[in-house]
Structures are given as C-alpha cells and as structure tokens.
Amino acid sequence: MTSTTVPAVSEERRSWAPMVGLFLAQVLMSFNVAALPVSIGGMVEEFGVPPTTAGTTIVVYGLAVAALVMVGAKIGHRVGWVLIFRIVVALFAGSSLLMIFGRTIWWVIAGQVVAGAAAAIIVPSLVALIAENYVGRQQATAIGSLGSARAISGVSAFFIGGALGTLIGWRPVFVIVLAIAVVVFFLSFRFRKDKGDPTIKIDIVAAVLIGVAIVLLSFGFSNLNSWGLLGARDTAPFNVAGISPAPLFIIVGIVLGQAFFLWTRRRTKAGKVPLVSLKVLARPSERAAVYAMFIVVALEAALNFTVPLYIQIVQGRTPFDTALAMMPFNLTVFVTATLIVRFYGRFNPRTIGVAGFVLTTAALVWLSFVVSNNWETLPTILGLFVFGLGQGALVTLVFNVLVTAVEPSLAGDVGSIRGTTQNLASGVGTAVAGALLVTILSLNIGQAIIQNTYLPDELVDEVSLENANFVSNDNLRELLAGTDATESQTEEFVRINEEARLSALRTGLLILAGISALAIIPAARLPKYRPGEVPDPSPAEPEKA
C-alpha cells in the first residue's frame, strides 16, 4: 500500500477536549499498572501473603490485556467505539473499587483481572477514537501523546504511590485511579459519535488460539527461573521426563501462535471476518514495526525491572527512592514521545528508528561500564537519559508507522496488535531480565566460592548462597547470623555477594545492549516515507460472515 497525500480539507483543526479524555484513558491504565509494584509491600503486610502472591496482581492484568485485546477490538467494531469505551471505563472504575475495599488478596487479584479485561478494549479504542476525532498533524500529535502518557503516569504513580504508601497505605493510590476513571467517563461525551457494525462476528477459534498461546508464553517466560530453564526444579508444578514446564509452555505457545496465523489466513481467504486483519502486517515494513515495538518495550520492561530490583531489594531503599532514580528516564521518555512528531517532516521512519536503537544500544553499553551500587551518580543518570531519548522516539514512531500504513477500517486492528505486542513484550522483558540476572548471579557466586579458600566447605553448604537470589547486605548478615560463621567470614560472604550482584547487573545490561543492537536490523526495514496521518476509521464495510 502506497502512502497518499491528504487533502487540505482534512487538516481542519478540532477541539483538543476529546484528546484530553483519550490521554487520561491511557493515564488511567498506565497509572494502575505503575501503582501495582509500589503497592506490593503494603499488600504483603496487610494480607500476610508472600511477595510472589501479591505480585500476581501484575501478572493477571497483563495476561488479561494481552489475551483479550484482539477480541476487544472486534467487540468495539461490532458495538461501536464510543459506547463500548464508556462501558469499559465504568468497568475499570469498578475494578478500582475492588482494590480499595477488597478484604483478601484474591479480591485484589480479581480487581486486576477486571481491569485487564477492560483495558483490552480501551487499548484498541484509543487508536480508533483518535482516528475518528482527528486528522493530519493533530493525529500524529495525539499518537505521540499516548506514549508520553505512559511515561508521565509511571513517574507520578511512583511518586504518589510511594508517598501515600509511606504516610497512609497502599489503597488510597487506587482512589486516584477511580477518580481518573470518572473524569474519563464524563469526557467521553465529547467524542464524535460512531455506529457499530452488528454484522461482524467474532472468530471464537482464533480467540481461543491466541488467548491460550499468550497465556502459555507469559507463564513460560515468567517461570523460567522458578521452574527451571531446562531441567525441572523442585518448585515446578510438574515435569515431563525431567524437563521443566516453562520451556514446554513457550514451545506450545509458539505453535499455537502459528496456528492462529494459519487459521486467520484460511478464514480470510474464505471471505469470513477474521479476529484481526493480517492486512495490518501485510508489508515487510509493517512487520518490522511490530518487531521493533516488541523489542523496545521488552527493553524498557527489563530496565524497569532491574532498577527497582537493585534499589528496593538489594539496597533496601523505598519506592520513593526508586522514583527519584528513574525520573531522568521517565521524564525523557515523556518529553521525547511528545516532541518526536516534530521531526517527522524532516526525517523518515527508517532514519529515526535506526537512530533510536543506536541510542538505546549506546546507553546500555555505557551503563554496563559505569553503573555501581549507587544509581544517583551522574554517569548513570546520563545513561538513563540517553536510553529515554531512544525509547521515547521509538515507541511513538513504530506505532505511528502502523496506523498510517493501513486502510481506514483497520484502526481498531492496529490498536489490538499494539496492545498484544506491548503487553506480551512487557511480560517477556521482565521475565527474561529476571531469569538472566539470577542465572548470571548464581554462576558468579558459584565461581567465586569455588575459588575462595578462606570459607570452609561445610559453611558454604550450610548457607547455599548460590541459591539465595538477590538479597541486601543486611538480609544476608541476618541469614548468616543463624550459622557458625565468624564475623570475618560473614563479611567475606557479603563481599562475594556484593561483587557478584554488580557483575551480574553489568553483564545483564551488556546482553540487553546486544539485543538492542540486533533490533537495528528490523529498524532498517521501516518505511522511508514520512508518516502522514492516522486513517479516518469510517465504519467498516460489512464483510461476509
């Protein structure tokens, strides 16, 4: 499909009031997600559950979005984007009530399942409603605002969540989520009205295939460390001939994903309505945009996992300290995602994409050399700043490439592809970063202990430091207090652990830099034309059932 020139009449400017509602809808989802990590400590304390159980709130939200977003896009087409948007925003408000008043951890987990299901429809509706309400440069600016909304939500959620969690408790954070949902609901009445197409049918087979595939992929990647990378560990729920279920889940998930694409192509050839139109991915440049989006979101998730891991768990500091450490990155993403559209008239997507991944690669390599146990050093801040420049430009760019390359009726399908890609990439990035860092840490500690002649073998066996995961120096000293370790032996253990942690961090960042460098390949396949506008999503022509 070739790019077209938009008639001058399409450049008529419209009020930004609808965009305020759409911007806040993105803030609603992003704030909710960002508030969960800083709330885990409060949940653990209040409900008396392990951190892993409280962390399930994050997992189920992402799973619900990724597994249901394609179905959500089709529901939007069938019912009408404005009506379904209002319904699911009200549903999101209901999920925040479960978070505020839930008496057990299971009510809270249920709240995030509901929030994820609502977000699965909000995500594609944002694209469709932007296209419905704006054209021309206003559309490009609106697209950029979605990326900036994610960044500013992360900053504010960390700051507000950390402050409220320290002074009052974790629940008031979700009062803010409820308030945002109410504001978005009322602003939705400023949207341009549309009509659904009741003749559209939802492909149940495809929905099951992609839903199960995403669940298996998410669980597989998330449990690579706890269940075993290859051989099954004792913590695995089951094993197949001694093999961990984690890689098996990943393999089956990939197979089902391929089955989804085969089924969708077959259904499209038969003239029936697919769950998502593969026209969105028809050209190499569009597929390259999806690959690039997956990688940049996965890298962002890996970094967002790594920094809190070291600051809160290793250094034993507060969520507020984490917010301060991540502020250069998040603010840079916010500003870059908003302003990058101003460069679309001067540089094509291929140039911006390659430059973006060069920046993220250089930043990760720099961080791997300069990072220390103190994240507030100037060289570290510089590295986060440069990474934010690349990440902010890329997230907005690849999204814009997708929405400007397809026909008008496919705006919702682009939104569903975006939602599936981003949520799956976020889960995979977090899981891979965790498994990677823990594996490197175990190897580093194991090698250091083998080479250490000062620590007696019986003490090493008693402590089993290579299985201790990431722990702070204070927690390690508490662990060793229950053993026969002398004070000097305890300090030697602490030294080994401290050096192994920092080495694992630097090696992990270097590996992430390698992944970022490989992403230059799909970025080099992005289109050379300059992004124009989001297509106007007129109601789709009825397709044969």
Q: What is the pLDDT of residues 343-391, one digit of tens each?
A: 877 888 889 999 999 999 999 999 999 887 776 778 888 998 999 999 8
Q: What secondary structure letter does DSSP report for 467?
A: G
List the one residue out of 154, 66, 84 whose CA is nearest residue 418: 66
Question: Is the predicted pLDDT of residue 182 greater than 60, yes or no?
Answer: yes
Residues 291-319: pLDDT tens digits?
Answer: 888 998 889 888 877 777 777 666 767 66
Count of other CB atoms within 10 angstroms of residue 219: 19
Predicted local distance difference test score (pLDDT) of residue 130: 82
The model carries a pTM of: 0.76
Per-residue confidence (pLDDT) for residue 454, from 0 to 100: 63
Considering only CA atoms, which of 443, 437, 487, 445 is closest in space to residue 465?
A: 445
End-to-end CA distance of the chain: 25
Tell me the pLDDT tens digit for each residue of 334-353. Answer: 788 778 877 877 888 889 99
Percent of the chain with pLDDT over 90: 19
At 210, is the secondary structure helix, strand, or coil? helix
- pLDDT at residue 22 above 70? yes
All residues at 6 or more sequence positions from 52 whose CB lies less than 8 Å from its CB, including other chains: none
**Percent above pLDDT 70 for the chain:** 82
Contact 81, 129 (CB under 8 A): yes
What whole-number distance in Å separates Cα of residue 416 and Cα of residue 123? Answer: 7
Q: Which of 74-78, 102-106, 412-416, 515-519 has the lowest mean pLDDT?
A: 412-416
Which residues are 179's β-sheet partners? none
Q: CA 123 to CA 252: how far, in whole Å?
A: 27
Residue 497: CA atoms inside 13 Å, Cβ hemisphere, count? 27
pLDDT-derived band at 474 (thresholds 50, 70, 90) equals confident
The tens digit of pLDDT for each residue in 207-247 reads: 899 889 988 988 888 787 778 878 888 878 888 888 989 89
Of the candidates 426, 358, 347, 386, the one whose C-alpha atom is nearest the C-alpha of residue 150 is: 426
* Token code pair at residue 217: 């992929």
